[in-house]
Chain A
Amino acid sequence: MPNVSRKRHHRQYAKAFPVFALSISLFGFSIFYLIPFAISLVYAFVENPVQMNFVGFRNFIELFQNKFFILGFKNTFIFMAFAIPLSMISSLLLALALKRLGRMGNLFSVIFLIPLVLPSATTVQFWMGIFADKGVLNGFLHRFGLEGPSWLAGSYTMGVMIFIYIWKNLGYNTVLFLAGLHTIPEVYYSCASIFGASRWQRFSHVTLVYLTPTFFLVFIMSFVNSFKIFREVYLMQGEFPHESVYLLQYFVNNTLLSLNYHRLVSAVYVLTLVIVLVVVIAFKFEDRFSENLSD
């Protein structure tokens, strides 16, 4: 009987301890983020933070009529629509290549992580040297008699930012995919080979399927990291970026600086809703796939 009691205590402790450990962090997070965030919702429904006249959903309506909010939303969407899939595909391909190298692959994966740890200011200086109008790239093109475009102030600017994003996050996503690849039992590949599956079939029916949870993880991390590109964009473009890279964070940042708190809070809540929606939908799909996988 004492053994039963000890086991029960142990089980209770095992359940309670994680809650206790998390609650400390959650407490801090609530005090400094969650609660102020919830309180700030009030500003979304008033005319301005000084007079505090209730205006209902007017701020949200005006927000969606604001051409800069719409521009930021559109550009952010375009950026994500290209940057995230391209980043995931390139890092998957790199992970597959590195897996073949065995231990050397691990070393390379560490090297690929370097862009992520470099300060943004440093990387921006580097890329500006490459992509400036009289930079290395245009200089290279000039040698062949080609006139390079304005990479940082024209229609190619979004492409440059996507490239920088992929370059920066390639290593991190590759590490995640590598870890995912290592969890796939070799026996599945052996079975597939025995049954006469081709390379592509092994890849599509084994690798891709069992990498699904990793895919979702990489997708969510890429989605979150895609917002961080604002640092590089801001450092390269300044306060008044080219139209094609005017991201939503510009709108949020500048709204804060110009004291339009009601507009800021409205924008932040809309953005938060979108992020929560995307993450919830992603988790829903992941849940379903994982169920099928375990079946």
Chain B
Amino acid sequence: MSQCLKGNKIMLIFVLLILLISMSACNSLSIESEDVAEIPEQETETADTQKDMDISEPEEIYVQPEMSGEISVNVYEYSEWLETAVLMFVEKYPDMKVNIHSFYNGTDVLVTEGGGVSSMSSRPAGQTREDYIAQLNTQLLSGKADDIVITSTGLPLGRYVKMGIFADISFYLESAEEINEMDYFMNIFDAYRTKSGALYQLPISATAIPLVCFDKELMDNTGIGPAEDAVLITWREALDIGKEMYDASTLMNTFMEDARAIVGNLFTKAAVASIDYDTGKVEIDQERMLQLLSVFEELEDYQTLPEGFDLFQDKYNKPYGINYQPDTEAAMHALNGYEVPLQWKYDDGEVYLSPYYALDFGITNQSKNKELAWEFLRYLISEEVQTLPSCPHAGVSKKGLQARVEGRVITGGGSAEYAQKVVAMVDGWVSQITAYRAEDTDLIQISEGTLEEFIDGSLTTEETIDKLINRLEQYMNE
């Protein structure tokens, strides 16, 4: 009995000691943050705002490995294009085997609303994007992930980069001589680089370019519009022009539909950009956020339509719309005189590639076949694959973009000459891209959710900002 008591006492002392050691750190609140603040920028690699960096010559020489082995690719949903690319790859390298692990292989279920079938679709429970990300997270963190993983699914890339989940493929890219300024949109690759020049995602697609497209009919009606030689436009300029057009328009069914969407989008982007993944701090520009929310409120007046107007049935004119899948369609609209498209330039001076419809892949650090994985990705951005008719969106290869755009125009009945004009227009847009910001889906949901509460009237502008900061801090520090 006494031995048992002695044992209990020892156990108790041990436990108290552990607790004491941990709690003794409570007083040193400022030390850790100071240390973190002193970490030089080169060490903080995140997937946030990415800028051009001087690319130095590789010290090592890359040698193509023996093309024999097996690699695996993890994607959210089945893609005919990817499967075709794999077949072509293994035909080229018969000793290679590529396994595609697709999370969702079913067909979407159309959602019925009010007896009819809406255009929305839903995935069954357990097969949604969130479920995919949960499964992928588990695989990545347990070391059982595939060699190549699709990264354009709203993953928390900032965290992953910090945890060293993805390999830096800049060396491979710089060693590939065929990937050069003449044949590729090198600005797209540079847009994906982190501040320190590392590259963790290889873009395959590059056409999600936010464009602000002004309605030509309204421009003619009001005599107001962007300057003729304008190429880029900021949200503020677009908003001001749109409001002028709205006020001057004689057409009663004018409706500034996308204006609020722009401001909401900026609100979300500002929230996401305020996060420092290394320190977990949230540094929101409160003044700017308040301004955005005020503009959002103000735009409510521009959302009114004639009495009895049915937003879903009746036609309305909008001064401008935001287009995220521009390439061919937007260019054709512009050339046919329906719209005047300008590329959206953000307040930080960058021209962003949108994460919507982006397609990029990363090689996991756990992969034992990094070189083979790179060879496959290199093949995906080769002219051979990027010129495939089934290649999604226009790619990073110039010839790929040309082939795809031409194909769509000519298939749609356009002439070769017309197709060339479309190509030139889209080419111009893609060439303007300077930045890309990978967006963590959770962060987007937090900021959109908070904004919705503001729209509902549950929160004032100040409460919205406070709540947003608290929620972002909670997310970053949990």
Complex Cα–Cα for A277 and B467 (A): 36
Complex Cα–Cα for A51 and B143 (A): 10
Contact of B156 among A61, A259, A276 (CB under 8 A): A259
Cβ contact within 8 Å between A51 and B141: no
Complex Cα–Cα for A61 and B18 (A): 11
* Closest CB in chain A relative to B199 CB, distance in Å: 19
* Closest CB in chain B relative to A175 CB, distance in Å: 31
Interface residue A270 (Cβ < 8 Å from any Cβ of B): yes
Contact of A65 among B15, B26, B474 (CB under 8 A): B26
Cβ contact within 8 Å between A261 and B8: no
Give the residue among B8, B143, B473, B477 with the most A Cβ atoms within 10 A.
B477
Cβ contact within 8 Å between B143 and A258: no
Complex Cα–Cα for A186 and B141 (A): 63
Cβ contact within 8 Å between B474 and A240: yes
Q: Which residue of A lies closest to B33 (CB)?
A: A65
Interface residue A129 (Cβ < 8 Å from any Cβ of B): no
Q: Which residue of B lies closest to A57 (CB)?
A: B21
Interface residue B159 (Cβ < 8 Å from any Cβ of A): yes
Complex Cα–Cα for A77 and B445 (A): 31
Chain A residues 51-106 with CB under 8 Å of chain B are 51, 57, 60-68
Interface of A is mostly: helix
Known A-B contacts A64-B23, A240-B471, A273-B19; the reply to A50 vs B478 at CB < 8 A is no
Interface residue A280 (Cβ < 8 Å from any Cβ of B): yes
Contact-residue bracket for chain B = 35 or more
Cβ contact within 8 Å between A259 and B32: no
* Closest CB in chain A relative to B283 CB, distance in Å: 16
Cβ contact within 8 Å between A270 and B137: no
* Closest CB in chain A relative to B466 CB, distance in Å: 11
Q: What's the tally of chain A residues with a CB closer than 8 Å to chain B?
A: 32
Chain A residues 23-68 with CB under 8 Å of chain B are 48-51, 57, 60-68
Chain B residues 24-72 with CB under 8 Å of chain A are 25-26, 28-29, 32
0/1 interface trace, chain A 253-295, chain B, CB 8 Å (1 if under) = 0110011110100000010011011001000000000000000
Complex Cα–Cα for A251 and B8 (A): 31
Cβ contact within 8 Å between B15 and A276: yes
Cβ contact within 8 Å between B21 and A50: no
Residues of A participating in the B interface, judged by any CB pair closer than 8 Å: 48-51, 57, 60-68, 240, 243, 246, 250-251, 254-255, 258-261, 263, 270, 273-274, 276-277, 280
18 further A-B pairs in the complex, CB-CB below 8 A; given A51-B164, A240-B471: A48-B162, A49-B142, A57-B21, A61-B22, A64-B25, A65-B25, A65-B29, A66-B477, A68-B474, A68-B478, A254-B474, A254-B475, A258-B159, A259-B156, A260-B478, A274-B19, A277-B12, A277-B16
